[in-house]
A = this chain, B = another copy of it.
Amino acid sequence: MIKKIDHIAVAVRDVEKAAEFYEKVLGLKLGGVEEVEGMDVKVGFIPIGDTRIELVQPLDPHSGLAKFIEKKGEGIHHICYEVDDIHKALETYKAKGAKMIDETPRKGAHHSLVGFIHPKSTGGVLTELTQPADS
């Protein structure tokens, strides 16, 4: 059901500033930057191998992401896995005992559908599932 890691998300204060390490030091390239409707975040993706680093910047200072940065500083925020059927994945993982943040999918970046599993059932790792728009 899981195809690959879609992205590893890094919470940052400023996407373009954070991208400098990846571009100037590591020699990777920042792809498109977009604001995600309804999630109040600005995201920039850095492709690498079959996955991507997602730099994610809160636009709402009262959001969970903004509080994460305020409390813990910038850093790795979650891991996102690509699944072929997000509805089935959320249902199956819940049935297997995972504590879900989302029981039904919501809209993510690039017109994908996404859902989150609570870190309590994953050994502390906020875990996102995504079904890309084209799958």
A residues with CB within 8 A of B? 1-5, 8, 10-12, 17-18, 21, 24-28, 48-51, 53, 55, 72-76, 78-79, 81, 93, 96-98, 117, 119, 121-125
Residues in B with CB closer than 8 Å to A93 are 25-26
Given contacts A93-B26, A97-B25, A3 and B75 within 8 Å (CB-CB): no
Contact between chains at A123 and B74 (CB < 8 Å): yes
User: Which of B48, B55, B97 interacts with A4 by CB under 8 Å?
Assistant: B48
Contact between chains at B10 and A123 (CB < 8 Å): yes
Contact between chains at A25 and B121 (CB < 8 Å): yes
Given contacts A4-B49, A48-B2, A79-B76, A124 and B25 within 8 Å (CB-CB): no
Residues in B with CB closer than 8 Å to A49 are 3-5, 49-51
A49-B49, A74-B123 provided; 5 other pairs, C-beta below 8 A? A1-B26, A21-B98, A24-B97, A25-B97, A76-B79
A119 to B10, CA, bound (A): 12
Residues in B with CB closer than 8 Å to A10 are 123-125
Contact between chains at B75 and A124 (CB < 8 Å): yes
Looking at A3, A51, A76, A123, the one whose CB has the most chain B CB atoms below 10 A away is A123
